[in-house]
Amino acid sequence: MITRSYIEARQNESWRDVSNLFMEWLKENASLKTFGFSEGGAVDYAGKRLYNFHFPAQHGANISLFKTWAESTGRLFGGEKDGTVHLSNNQILTLAAKAPPRPPPWRR
């Protein structure tokens, strides 16, 4: 299972820029031997771009470090659950339904 979290990007920030900010914070505030995440898609909400971070379940309780960091940034953030993102401003963002995967040509 993967945990998906979103955080607001500031003007002209790429996902990599935001990811690097999180990694720097982790280096200063957590002593982790292993920790990883990957890029998910971005969504737009109320004129803001929110980048998605995917966290594999193997990281367990350490995944909550993202929320701790996000709270310290003053940015809008939230976690995904059942196709919605519960944002830090108490709003709920409904994500677009994902299209079912297309079967490979040999199965059609």
CATH number at residue 44: 3.30.70
Residue 101 in domain: no
Distance of alpha carbon 56 from alpha carbon 72, whole angstroms: 23
Tell me what pLDDT residue 89 has: 95
Helix (H, G, I), strand (E, B) or coil at 79: strand
CA-to-CA distance for 16 and 98, rounded, in angstroms? 24
Its domain, for residue 59, covers: 2-96
Q: Is 26 part of a structural domain of the chain?
A: yes
| 46 inside domain | yes
The pLDDT score that the predictor gives to residue 78 is 94
| Within a domain: 105 | no
The list of the chain residues with pLDDT below 70 reads 1-2, 34, 60, 99
Q: How many domains does the chain have?
A: 1
On average, the pLDDT of the chain sits at 86
Reported pTM: 0.80
In a domain, 68, yes or no: yes
Q: Please tell me the predicted confidence (pLDDT) of residue 101.
A: 76
Q: What is residue 2's predicted lDDT score, i.e. its pLDDT?
A: 61
Q: What is the pLDDT of residue 56?
A: 75
